[in-house]
Chains A and B, each alone.
Chain A
Amino acid sequence: MISDVLKNMGRFTVLVLLQVLIVKNINLGRYFIFFPYVLFILLLPFNTPKPLTLILAFILGLCIDMFYDTQGMHAAACITMAFARSFVLELFAPREGYDEQLKPTIAYMGVGWFSSYALILILVHHLILFYIEAFTFTEFFRTMLRVLGSTLATFGFIYLMQFLFYRPNKNRIS
Chain B
Amino acid sequence: MRSLFNFLIRNYYYLLFIFLQVMCILLISKNKNFQGTRIINSSNTLSAETFLAVSNTKEYLSLKEENLKLAKENVGLLNIIRSRSYELIQIASLTKNDTLYKQKYIFTQANVINNSSNLRSNYLTLNIGSEQGITHDMAIINSEGIVGVIKDVSKNFSSALSLLNKDVKVNCMLKKDGSYGPLSWEKDDDYTSATLTDIPIHAKIKAGDTIVTSALSSIFPEGIHVGTVKSFERKSGDAFFTVKVNLSINFKKLNHVYVIKNLFKVEQDSLEFVSQKHDKDDK
A associates with B: yes
Taking Cβ atoms with an 8 Å cutoff, the residues of A that contact B are 20-21, 24, 27, 29-30, 33, 50-51, 54-55, 58, 61-62, 65-69, 71-73, 75-76, 79-80, 83, 86, 132-134, 139, 142
Bound CA span A76–B121, Å: 18
- A-chain residues with CB within 8 Å of residue B190 when the two chains form the complex: 29-30
- A-chain residues with CB within 8 Å of residue B117 when the two chains form the complex: 27
Write the nearest CB–CB distance from A121 to chain B, whole angstroms: 15
Given the interface contacts A51-B12, A54-B16, A134-B120, does A72 sit within 8 Å of B50 by beta carbon? no
Q: Is the CB of A24 within 8 A of B116?
A: yes
Q: Is the CB of A51 within 8 A of B123?
A: no
Ordered by A's residue number, 27 sampled pairs between the chains whose C-beta atoms are within 8 Å are A21-B50, A27-B252, A29-B190, A30-B118, A30-B190, A50-B13, A54-B13, A55-B20, A58-B24, A62-B40, A66-B41, A66-B46, A66-B47, A68-B116, A69-B41, A69-B42, A69-B123, A71-B27, A71-B28, A71-B38, A72-B25, A72-B26, A72-B28, A75-B24, A75-B27, A79-B17, A133-B119
B31 within 8 A of A: yes
Q: Is the CB of A133 within 8 A of B121?
A: yes
Given the interface contacts A27-B117, A62-B40, does A79 sit within 8 Å of B24 by beta carbon? yes
- The closest CB in chain A to the CB of B22 belongs to A76
- The closest CB in chain B to the CB of A72 belongs to B27
B109 within 8 A of A: no
Bound CA span A71–B159, Å: 13
- B-chain residues with CB within 8 Å of residue A54 when the two chains form the complex: 13, 16-17, 20
Q: Is the CB of B40 within 8 A of A76?
A: no
Q: Is the CB of A71 within 8 A of B21?
A: no
B187 within 8 A of A: yes
- The closest CB in chain A to the CB of B41 belongs to A69
Write the nearest CB–CB distance from B198 to chain A, whole angstroms: 20
Write the nearest CB–CB distance from B32 to chain A, whole angstroms: 8
Instruction: Point out the residue from B16, B27, B50 that lies within 8 Å of A67, measured CB to CB.
Output: B50
- B-chain residues with CB within 8 Å of residue A58 when the two chains form the complex: 20, 23-24
Bound CA span A71–B26, Å: 10
- B-chain residues with CB within 8 Å of residue A71 when the two chains form the complex: 27-28, 31, 38, 40-41
- B-chain residues with CB within 8 Å of residue A69 when the two chains form the complex: 41-42, 123, 125, 159
What is the size category of the interface that chain B forms with chain A?
35 or more
Taking Cβ atoms with an 8 Å cutoff, the residues of B that contact A are 12-13, 16-17, 20-21, 23-28, 31, 38, 40-42, 44, 46-47, 50-51, 54, 114, 116-121, 123, 125, 159, 187, 190, 252
Bound CA span A54–B121, Å: 27
Write the nearest CB–CB distance from B125 to chain A, whole angstroms: 8
Write the nearest CB–CB distance from A6 to chain B, whole angstroms: 22
- The closest CB in chain A to the CB of B119 belongs to A133
Bound CA span A20–B52, Å: 13
- A-chain residues with CB within 8 Å of residue B252 when the two chains form the complex: 27
Bound CA span A19–B76, Å: 40
Most-contacted residue by chain B among A27, A29, A68, A73 (CB, 10 A): A68
- The closest CB in chain B to the CB of A74 belongs to B24
Given the interface contacts A71-B40, A133-B121, does A142 sit within 8 Å of B187 by beta carbon? yes
Q: Is the CB of B118 within 8 A of A33?
A: yes
- B-chain residues with CB within 8 Å of residue A20 when the two chains form the complex: 47, 50
Q: Is the CB of A29 within 8 A of B17?
A: no
- The closest CB in chain A to the CB of B17 belongs to A83
- B-chain residues with CB within 8 Å of residue A21 when the two chains form the complex: 50, 54
- A-chain residues with CB within 8 Å of residue B50 when the two chains form the complex: 20-21, 67
- B-chain residues with CB within 8 Å of residue A132 when the two chains form the complex: 28
